[in-house]
Structure 1
Amino acid sequence: MKALVNTLASVVRRSPWGVLAGALVVTVVLMAFLPQAEQSSGNEGFSPDSPEFLAGQIIGERFDTSAVAPVQVVFTSDSGDVMTADSFRSYLAVQQAVMASEVAPYLVEGQGGGIQGFFDPAALALQEQGLDPASLTDEDVRALYKAGLESLPPEVQGQLTLALSSKSTDLTVPSSTAGLMIVLIDSSKIPDDPDQVKLQAAQVDMQTKIDALDTAGVDVEPFSFALLFSNQDEFAAEIGRLFGTAFLIIMLILGFVFWINPAGRMTRVRALRRSAADVGLAMLVIVLSILWMNGIGVILGPKYLGIIGNFSEILQIIPILLIGLGVDYAIHLTSRYREELGEDDMDVVSAAGRATRTVGIALVLATVTTGVGFLTNWFNPITAIKDFGVLATVGIGSAFVLMLTVVPSVRILLDRRAERRDDLAVEAMGKSSERLLPKLMGRTSTLAEKIPAVMLGLALLLGGLGAYGLTQLSTEFTFTDFLPEDSPLLATFDVLVEEFGGGLGETTNVLVEGEVATPDVHNALVAAWDNLGDSNMVLSFGPRAAALSPVSVIAQLVIPPEQGGSPELYDADFAAAAPGLGLQPDLTVAPGSNVAALYDAAFAADPENMSRVVATDAAGNYEYLDVAISTQAGESGARELSETLATDFAPVSSIDGVDATPTNENIISFGVVDALQESQTQSIGISLIAAMLLLVANFWYAVRRPFLGVITIFPVVLVVLWVFGLMALTGISFNPVTAMIAAIAIGIGVPYTIHITHRYEEDRARFASENEAMRSTMTHTGGALAGSAFTTVAGFGILVTSSLKPFQQLGLVTAYAIGGALIAAVFVLPSLLILWDRWHRNRGTDGDVANVLHEMAESVN
C-alpha cells in the first residue's frame, strides 16, 4: 500500500501535466463506450435463478404464449352506483372511443370480442330490442341488464358478474359501486414492435380519446402497465431535478467546508476564489470517477468481456456512494495539503507529496478494504447484486486514483505559480484547524477521554436495539412505489385492488416438467383442475376453473355443443377417436394408455391451443406442459396464490421426476424480494468479515497490533445495526432500494473509521499522551469527517421531497447511514482507541506501542 501511494506521489511530483493528460485521454476513451450501455428491466438480473423465474423463461421460450395485452377501464359514479342510464351511455361512448382509437385494428377477434365488460348484457338486450340509449331511464337500464344476463349461459353470466365490484354489488336490483371494461389487444398484430413502443402509443391514444369524452357524473379511467409507465419524461425530469438540486447543495456546503478565513495575503475575494476552485476540482474528480465507472462497466458488460450483465436500476445507488466517498477523499486530501503548506513552511511540491503520502495511506487502505468488501458480492446468487459489487469496486478505485493524482497535480500547477510570485497565502491555510467545525469536533474528544466506557456502553445498547429492529423490518415491494403519489393511475389501481381484487386479465401459469406424457401425470392434471374449482383467487366460468391445459383443450374437443361444449372447438373426428386412445368420460385415461398418441391427435385437431399447453424436445418427446389459469390475486395476493396453486397441483408434483411450478410476474417479484433480503443479509456479514480480516492483517503488518483492525471495523457493525433500527422505527420497509443502503453504510463507514485510526496512530507518535493525540485527531480528521458527512447528508436529504416513495426512503436511509457513520467515527471509535491505549499502558506496553507508531509515522513522512 505504501509503495503504491509513494509511486503515485512521485509521478505527480515529477509530471503533473503528464498526469492530467493521461487522465484526459482515459476519460475520452471511456466516454466513447458510454452510448453502448444497455439497461436491464423488470426482474432481469434480480432473480437468483429461482424455480419461478426459470419456469417463466421456459414458458416464454417454448410455448406459443398469448400475445393479448389487456387494458382495464374502471367505471365509478358520483352517485355511488354505476348501474344507471348515465353510466350505460358512458359505457357505450367508451366503446365507440376505443373503436375510433389506434388500438382498433389490433383488437382480439373471436369469442367475446376485443371489448368486454360489465354492461354487455344490457348492450345485448338493447340491440335486440332496438331502443334508443338517449331515452333510457335508470329503471330501463336495470331491466335491460337483467334480461340480457338471463339470456346468457351460466358460465358467461359468472364471467360478466366478475366485472362488477366484489365488495358492493346487488344483482337483485341490480346495483354496484364500480364496473369494469376489458379491452383486449392482440399485440402480435402490431408489426415490428419488439419493445412494445407502438403498443404503448396506441394505448395512450385510446386513453386520450376516452379522457376527451363528456361523461358527466361518471368517472372513466383506463389502466394498464403500459399506461402506468407511459410518461417516463416526468420521471426522468424529477430524477434530474432531485439529483441536480442535491449536487448544487453539496457544492454550496462544500464551499463552506473549504472556506478559508482571510488572513495575511488572503483577502475575502481570494478566499472565495480559492474555495470555489477547490469545490470545482473536487466535483470534477467525482464526475470523472462516475464516468470512468460507467465506461469500464460497459467494457465489463455483455458486449465485451461479459463479466457483468446490463446495467440495472439498483446501480443508480453507486453514484451516491461515489459522491459520499469523493467528498470525503477531497476534504481529507485538501485539508491535509493546507495543513502541511501552512504549518510546516513547506514548498508546494513537498506539501502536496506529504499530503498524498499521509492521507494516501488511509485512502488506499479504505479503498482496498471497502473494495474487497464489495467484491465479496461476486459470490452472491443475484446477478444484480454481484454486478453492484463489481461496479462499486471499480468506481471506488477510480475515485481513489483520480483523487490522488488529478487533485494534487492541479494544485501543484496552480499554487506553484503563486509560489514563484511569492503570492501564496500559506498563513491563512495553516489556520484551517481554527475554524468552527474543527474546533467543535476537537471538543468531542473530551467524551472519549473522560467517559469512554459509558460511550461504548451506550453505543452497544443502541446496537442491540438496532438488531431488534432488524427482526421487525417488513419486506415489501410494489411497482407502484415508483409512481408519483398524486398519480391518477395510482388511484385507479387502488380501485382495482379494493373493488376487483386486483382486476381481471391476470394469468398465472403452472409449468409441469419431467416425463409428462404418462397416464399418471395426465390423471393428476385432471385432479388438479378439479382442485382449482374451489380455490381462492382462481376464476371459474361455469362448473370448472378457467384454466387452459392439455386436459381443457381435450375437453373442448370432445364435448358436443348440445352438452354445453363450444361449437367452434368441438371436433367430432377427435371425439370419436379419443376413447380408442384411452380417454374416459371423466377426461382421465385408462392405465397403460398411450398419452403421447392422445396429445398428438389433439394437436392435429387443434394445433393453435395445443401449442400453448405442450412443448416437445428435439426428438419430438413431450417435455413440458403448461397450465394457464385465470387468477385474481394481484400483487398483494401473489404469495398466497403461489401456495394455493402448489397445494392444488400436489397430485402432479408428488409424482417422481415431475415438478409443477406456479409462476407469474407478481410471484417472481415476491421471490426476488425474499431472495434479495436473504442474500443481502449474507453479503453484509461477508463484507464486514472480509473488511475486518484485511484491517487485522494490515495493522498486524504495520504496527504489530492486529486488534486495531477489530477496533476499526466494530463501529461500522454498529452503524449497520443502527440503520436497520432506524428503518424499523420510521416504518421503512426492506426492499430492493433500501436493501443496498447497508452497502453505503459499509462503504462510507469503513473509510471514516480508517481515517480516525490512521490519524490517531500518527498523532500518538507526536504527542506524549493519548488525550492530546485524540484532541489533535478529532480537530483535524474529525473536522474533515464532519464536513464530509454534513455535505453529503444535506445534499441527498433533498430526496425526501420527492413524490416517489423509493427516493424518499433513499434520502432518509442515506442520512441514517452517513450520519451513523459520523457518530460512530467521532464518538464510538475514539472511546475504543482510548480504552485500547490505556489498556496497553496499564500492562506496561504503551512504550512499545508508541515506538512502533513513531516508526510508522516517520516512514510515512
Structure 2
Amino acid sequence: MTSRSSPPEPHPDDGLLARVLSWISNLLLRRTELVLLCAAALALLALQYIRYLPLKSSVFDLLPPDDPLVATYKEVEEILTPTDFAAVLLTLEDPPASLAERERILIEAATRLERELDDPEIRGVSFRIGEGIEVPPELLLFYQLDPETLSRLREIAREVLSIFPPLQVPRGRALGEALPQAALADLSRVGKIDPGKLRAILGEAQREVEAARELVSRMGEIPRLEKLLHEAGVIITELLSRPPPKAQPLFSPDRTRLLVQIWPRRPSYTGVVYCRKITRTISAAVRRAELGKLGVRAGITGNYVAVAQGQALIAQDLSRTTWISAVGVFVVLIVSLGSVIAILATVLPLLVSAVLTVAWAKFSVGGFNLITVFLPALVLGLGVDYSLHLVSRVMEEIRKGEDLPAALAVAMRTKGSASLGAALTTALAFTSLVFARSLGLKEMGIIMALGIFFALGSALLIGPALLVAAYRASQGRFRPRGLGYERKLFRPYRLLLYNRWAVIALTILLTGAVAYQASRVEFEFVPGELSPTTEAQRVAQEAMRALGGEIAFNDDFLIFVRGSRMLREVTADLSSHPGVRSIRSVRDLLPTELLRGEAAFQEIPIASLDAFLSLLEENLREWEGRIAQARNLAVALARGELVAATMGAGEIAAAASKLADSLFRLADAMEAYSPRVPEFLPAVTSMRADYEIIRGFLERLQALPPEEELLRRLVEVLPGDLRAYYYTSEGAYVIHLGLDPQYLEGKKLDRFIAWLEEKGYRYFGFPEVRLRLRQYMQRDFAISTSLAGILILGVLLLNFRSLRAAVVAAMPLVVGYTWMLAGMKFLGIEFNFINISISPLLIGLGVDAGIHVAHRVLEEGPGQSAVARGAAASTMPVLGASLTTMVVFAALLWANTPGLRILGVCALLGLGFSLIASLLFVPAALVRVERPPGAR
C-alpha cells in the first residue's frame, strides 16, 4: 500500500528507471568513500586542466567559421592593423592664457612620456601627424602651400580672370599692322585677282583689329593688374624658398589637449595577456613621467587598453557576481534547509559540476565566448535545483521517522525521476542550439547539453554520499530534519484550491491580455551591450571630440577600388550618400588644389597675358607712331573701298569700309591712353618680371604627372603601416567610411548595405558583421525555441504519461515566457546579442519548477487535500531552488557590462513569473486534471 510519504506504486514500464535509481542508492550506501574519492580526483584533474582558460572575446567568434565575412576579415586584417594602436591623451588641468605656453607644456609632457616608453615591445611613439611620410619632390610644392596662401592665390586668379579673360591675341607685333601693304596693292587691282582670296584677307584683318581694340580697352586696368601679378610673384617666390613641411603635433584647436600615439610590436588581437602587458607598460611610463608636476592629466585609450580594461571589468563582473551569488545562495539554503551538513551536501556538488562544465567547455569548444561567459554561474543555479530537491526530500522523510538509508532510497526514487525529467527538458532546450548557425549559440548548446548532466550527476552522487558519510561518522546519530514548512503551508493551499477556478481563469486571462505587448519585442543588436563601458572608451570619445577629424579609432566600412579614376568617382559617389559621415583615403594626403583636376591658379590665360605684355613692350615706346600708322592704313582702305565700288565689287567695298572704321576707332582708343604712356612703361616692365615667376610656377604645375601616377608615387613612400591602411597588397585603394550613428543599426543599415551591393562595390564593414549575426541569431532564436518546445513537450509526455498533466506542467513556462516579454516591452528592453540566449535558458529552467510541483502533487494523489499536501511539501524546495537560480541572475544587476545587466532583468522576469505560476496554477489545475476513478 502506498503511504503519504512513499512514492506511488511504479508502473510496469517504470522498472528500468526504478532499478537504476535503486542501484545508485545502493552504490552510495556501500561505496561512499569510493564515490567521494572519484569525485575529488575528477575535480582536481579538471582544475589542473583549466588553469589557463581562453576567453574568445571577438565578435567573429560568434559567427560560423565558414561565413564569408570571417574570411573577408582575415583578408583585411593588415588594413586594420595601422589603426591598432594605443594612445595617451594629455590634458592641461589649468590651461595658461597663452596658446604658445600651452603648446610648450604639452610638448614637454609628450617628450617626457616618449622617453619613458623606450621598451622592446613598443616599436613607435609619435605625437605629430604625418610623421614618417617622405613627400615626393613633385608634390613638395603643394605641401608647402598653407591654406591661407592657397586661398589668396585663388583669389588673385579670380581677379586676374575678371580683368583679363582668355582673348584672341593679334599675331602682329605692331598694333597698326592689321593689313599688309601687299593686300592694299591687291585691293587696287580688285578686278584682276580672286575676290574670295581678297575677302578672306580683309576678314582676317578685321579680326586682328578687333582683338587689338579689346586689348587696348583693358589698358586702364594695368595698375590693378600690375599689383595682382606682383603680389602673386612675391607669394610664389616666398613659397619656393620654404623648407619641406614638418609633421605637426596632434593638438586640439584650443591647445589644451595633445594626443600621443603608441604602436606596439604585435596587434591587439594577439591576445588578452599581450594587451594587459602593453597597458601595464604604458601606465608605468605615465607614472614615471610625473606629468602631474607639469599640470597635465593623462588618459590611456586605444584597442589594447580597451581590451585589457574590458577583460578586467568582465573578470570583476565574474568575481562580483560569484560572491553575490554565493552569499545569496547561502542565505536561501539556510532558510530552506537549516542544517550545515545539508547545506554542504547541496553546495559541494555545485562546485564540482561547475568545474567539470568549465573543463568540458575548454575541451569541446576551446573556452567561453561573449555569450557563454556566464554559463558556470548558470550551472551553479541548475545544480542547486537538483541538489536542493533531493536533500530536502531526504530531510522530509527523516522528519517522518525514517532513518537516513531509507530516506535516501525514497528521495532517490521520487526526486531522482523528477530531477531527471527536469534535466532532460533543460538539456533538450540547450541541445536545440547545437543546430544554430550562430557559433555563439551553438557553443552554448554544446557546453550546456552536457553541463546539465554534470549538475544532475553531482547532485545524485556527491550530495547523498556526503550525507551517508556524515551518518556513518556519527554512528547513525546524524539525522538532519530541516525546518519543515509543510504544516504551515497546508492551510493556505487548501484556501487556494477552494478558489482554484479563479486562479486558473486569472492566469489564462492575464497572460492572454499581455500577449500582444509580448509579441512586440524586437531585435536590436547594439554593440555597446556586448562589452562593458571602459575608461579607454571615455578617453577615446574625448579625444575624437577634441581633435575632430584628425584621429579615428575605428572605421565602419572599408571600400576597395582599383585605379585613381575609380577612387575619385567612388569617393564622390559615397560623399553624396546621406548616411556617410566621413571619408578617408590616400587622396586626403594630396593637396586639395591638385585634386580639382586643373588647379584654379592654372586657369590664368598665360598665353594671352604673354601676348598682351609683348604688344605693350613693342608699342608703348612708339605709341604716337603706331596711332599715325593705324590712321594712314584706314585712309588707304578708304581709297581701296572707292576702287572696289567703281569696279562693282560691293562685298569687298563693304568689307574694306568696315575695316577702315575699326582702324579709326582703334586709333582713337590708343590716343585716349597717350597721356598715361609714361606711367605704363615701368608697370609693364614690372609685370614682365612677375609674369616670368608666375609662368615658371605654372609650368611646374603643368609638368606634374597625372593623379594616378602621383598617388602611386605617394603610396610607395608611405611608411609600411600607413601604406597598408590606404593600399592593399593586391593593388587596390582603400576608402575608410564613417557612418552616421543612425545608419549603424536597423533598416537604415540594411538599406545602406543594399545600396553598396547595388553599386557593385567590394566592401567590408563591422556593422554588417553585427547585421549578419543578428540574422543568424533571429533565425536560430525561432528554430531553437520551436524545437525546444516540441522536444520538452515530448519529454513531459513520457515523464507523466498524461497529455493533460504534461500541459499543466508546461504552463508555467508559457506564463513566465509571455510575462517576461511583456515586462521587457514595458521596460523598453529589446533582444540583443546576450539576452537572446534567455530564450532556451528560460525554456529549460522555467519548466523545472512546474515538473517538481506536478510530480509531488501527483505522488500524493488527486484529491483536494492530497494536492494541498503535495503542494505544501514541494513549495520550499521549489522556492529555494528557484530563488538560488534567481539570485545568480540577480547578481548580474551589479555587472559592469550593460548586456549582462539586461540579461539579469530578463531572467528575473521569466523565472519569477514561472515560479509564481508553478506554485499557484499547477496545484489548482491538477485538482481538476487528475480525479480518482468514479469521482464526481
TM-score scaled to structure 1, two decimals? Answer: 0.69
Q: Is the 8 A contact 1:67 1:188 kept in 2?
A: no
1:217-263 Cα deviation digits (max 9, x unpaired): x876443233335455566345424422320231133112112xxxx
Describe the shift of the 1:498–1:182 C-alpha distance in structure 2 as closer, same or farther (beyond 3 A).
closer
1:242-297 Cα deviation digits (max 9, x unpaired): 422320231133112112xxxxxxxxxxxxxxx01111121111000111112223
Q: Is the 8 A contact 2:404 2:471 kept in 1?
A: yes
Q: Is the 8 A contact 1:509 1:662 kept in 2?
A: yes
Q: Is the 8 A contact 1:327 1:788 kept in 2?
A: yes
Whether 1:58 aligns to 2:75 is: yes
Structure 2 letter corresponding to 1:660: R
Cross-structure match for 2:448: 392
Cross-structure match for 2:349: 285
In structure 1, the gaps of 5 or more residues are 116-123, 126-146, 165-174, 260-274, 301-307, 565-574, 579-584, 589-597, 617-621, 654-658, 851-861
Most deviating of 707-716 and 373-382:
707-716
Describe the shift of the 1:798–1:298 C-alpha distance in structure 2 as closer, same or farther (beyond 3 A).
closer
Q: 2:264 aligns with which of 177, 180, 187?
A: 187
1:826-854 Cα deviation digits (max 9, x unpaired): 122223323433xxx5xxxx52999xxxx
Count of residue pairs the alignment pairs up: 705
Describe the shift of the 1:54–1:635 C-alpha distance in structure 2 as closer, same or farther (beyond 3 A).
farther
Q: 1:40 aligns with which of 33, 36, 56?
A: 56
Separation (CA, whole Å) in 1 of partners of 2:913 and 2:742? 34
Q: Is the 8 A contact 2:276 2:308 kept in 1?
A: no
Q: Is the 8 A contact 2:587 2:711 kept in 1?
A: no
Describe the shift of the 1:714–1:256 C-alpha distance in structure 2 as closer, same or farther (beyond 3 A).
closer
User: Secondary structure, in 3 states, of the residue corresponding to 2:874?
Assistant: helix
Whether 1:506 aligns to 2:554 is: yes
Most deviating of 817-826 and 11-20:
11-20
Cross-structure match for 1:360: 416
Whether 1:255 aligns to 2:334 is: yes
Structure 1 letter corresponding to 2:304: A
Q: 1:443 aligns with which of 479, 483, 492?
A: 492
User: Secondary structure, in 3 states, of the residue corresponding to 1:847?
Assistant: coil
Instruction: Give 1:388 deviation, angstroms.
Output: 0.9
Cross-structure match for 2:839: 742
Instruction: Give 1:674 deviation, angstroms.
Output: 5.6
Instruction: Give 1:758 deviation, angstroms.
Output: 1.4
Q: Is the 8 A contact 1:248 1:795 kept in 2?
A: no
Instruction: Give 1:411 deviation, angstroms.
Output: 1.9
User: Secondary structure, in 3 states, of the residue corresponding to 2:85?
Assistant: strand
Instruction: Give 1:509 deviation, angstroms.
Output: 4.7
Describe the shift of the 1:109–1:827 C-alpha distance in structure 2 as closer, same or farther (beyond 3 A).
closer
1:40-98 Cα deviation digits (max 9, x unpaired): 1221421246554442122227x79536525263758889x999556444443443244
Separation (CA, whole Å) in 2 of partners of 1:482 and 1:424? 49
User: Secondary structure, in 3 states, of the residue corresponding to 1:661?
Assistant: strand
Instruction: Give 1:395 deviation, angstroms.
Output: 1.7
Q: Is the 8 A contact 2:525 2:831 kept in 1?
A: yes
Separation (CA, whole Å) in 1 of partners of 2:906 and 2:290? 39
Q: 1:432 aligns with which of 468, 477, 484?
A: 484
Separation (CA, whole Å) in 2 of partners of 1:107 and 1:552? 24
Q: 1:779 aligns with which of 872, 877, 880?
A: 872
User: Secondary structure, in 3 states, of the residue corresponding to 1:475?
Assistant: coil
Cross-structure match for 1:92: 107
Describe the shift of the 1:334–1:65 C-alpha distance in structure 2 as closer, same or farther (beyond 3 A).
closer
After superposition, residues 719-798 of structure 1 pair within 5 angstroms as 719-764=816-861, 769-794=862-887, 796-798=889-891
Instruction: Give 1:483 deviation, angstroms.
Output: 4.2
1:655-705 Cα deviation digits (max 9, x unpaired): xxxx623313x55345435643553354233222221122224433xxxx2
After superposition, residues 290-301 of structure 1 pair within 5 angstroms as 290-300=354-364
Separation (CA, whole Å) in 2 of partners of 1:730 and 1:340? 44
Separation (CA, whole Å) in 2 of partners of 1:789 and 1:650? 50
Structure 2 letter corresponding to 1:336: R
User: Secondary structure, in 3 states, of the residue corresponding to 1:358?
Assistant: helix
Describe the shift of the 1:66–1:92 C-alpha distance in structure 2 as closer, same or farther (beyond 3 A).
closer
1:343-381 Cα deviation digits (max 9, x unpaired): 2x4343222112101110101111112111110100111
1:721-752 Cα deviation digits (max 9, x unpaired): 22222233234443333222334322321211
Q: Is the 8 A contact 1:106 1:187 kept in 2?
A: yes
After superposition, residues 158-237 of structure 1 pair within 5 angstroms as 181-188=258-265, 195-205=274-284, 207-208=286-287, 212-214=291-293, 221-231=299-309, 236-237=315-316
Q: Which has the larger radius of gyration?
A: 2
Whichever structure has more helix as a proportion of its residues is 2
Cross-structure match for 1:139: none
Identity of aligned residues (%): 19
Q: Is the 8 A contact 1:528 1:650 kept in 2?
A: no
Describe the shift of the 1:750–1:28 C-alpha distance in structure 2 as closer, same or farther (beyond 3 A).
same
User: Secondary structure, in 3 states, of the residue corresponding to 1:32?
Assistant: helix
Separation (CA, whole Å) in 1 of partners of 2:509 and 2:567? 57
Separation (CA, whole Å) in 2 of partners of 1:211 and 1:47? 45
Structure 1 letter corresponding to 2:872: T
Structure 2 letter corresponding to 1:629: I
Q: 2:919 aligns with which of 813, 826, 847?
A: 826
Q: 2:762 aligns with which of 643, 648, 660?
A: 660
Separation (CA, whole Å) in 1 of partners of 2:34 and 2:772? 52
Describe the shift of the 1:413–1:235 C-alpha distance in structure 2 as closer, same or farther (beyond 3 A).
closer
Cross-structure match for 1:106: 124
Separation (CA, whole Å) in 2 of partners of 1:16 and 1:448? 43
Most deviating of 187-196 and 327-336:
187-196
Describe the shift of the 1:353–1:57 C-alpha distance in structure 2 as closer, same or farther (beyond 3 A).
same
Whether 1:315 aligns to 2:372 is: yes
Whether 1:326 aligns to 2:387 is: no
Q: Is the 8 A contact 1:550 1:610 kept in 2?
A: no
Separation (CA, whole Å) in 2 of partners of 1:626 and 1:724? 48
User: Secondary structure, in 3 states, of the residue corresponding to 1:346?
Assistant: coil
Structure 2 letter corresponding to 1:226: Y
Cross-structure match for 1:373: 429
Structure 1 letter corresponding to 2:330: M
Describe the shift of the 1:535–1:586 C-alpha distance in structure 2 as closer, same or farther (beyond 3 A).
farther
User: Secondary structure, in 3 states, of the residue corresponding to 1:756?
Assistant: helix
Separation (CA, whole Å) in 2 of partners of 1:414 and 1:163? 72
1:402-461 Cα deviation digits (max 9, x unpaired): 1112222222232245565xx4558x56x82446xxx33762453344233543443452
Q: Is the 8 A contact 1:362 1:758 kept in 2?
A: yes
Structure 2 letter corresponding to 1:225: N
Separation (CA, whole Å) in 2 of partners of 1:396 and 1:190? 38
User: Secondary structure, in 3 states, of the residue corresponding to 1:779?
Assistant: helix
After superposition, residues 204-603 of structure 1 pair within 5 angstroms as 204-205=283-284, 207-208=286-287, 212-214=291-293, 221-231=299-309, 236-237=315-316, 239-259=318-338, 275-300=339-364, 308-343=365-400, 345-416=401-472, 418=474, 420=476, 423=477, 425=479, 432-434=484-486, 439-440=488-489, 443-444=492-493, 446-462=495-511, 464-465=513-514, 468-469=517-518, 471-472=520-521, 475-479=524-528, 482-483=531-532, 489=536, 491-495=538-542, 504-510=552-558, 527-535=569-577, 545-548=583-586
TM-score scaled to structure 2, two decimals? Answer: 0.64
Larger relative contact order (C-alpha < 8 A, sep ≥ 6)? 2
User: Secondary structure, in 3 states, of the residue corresponding to 2:764?
Assistant: strand
Separation (CA, whole Å) in 2 of partners of 1:797 and 1:110? 48
Separation (CA, whole Å) in 2 of partners of 1:440 and 1:83? 78
Q: Is the 8 A contact 2:286 2:298 kept in 1?
A: no
User: Secondary structure, in 3 states, of the residue corresponding to 2:130?
Assistant: coil
Q: 1:809 aligns with which of 897, 902, 921?
A: 902
Q: Is the 8 A contact 1:77 1:219 kept in 2?
A: yes
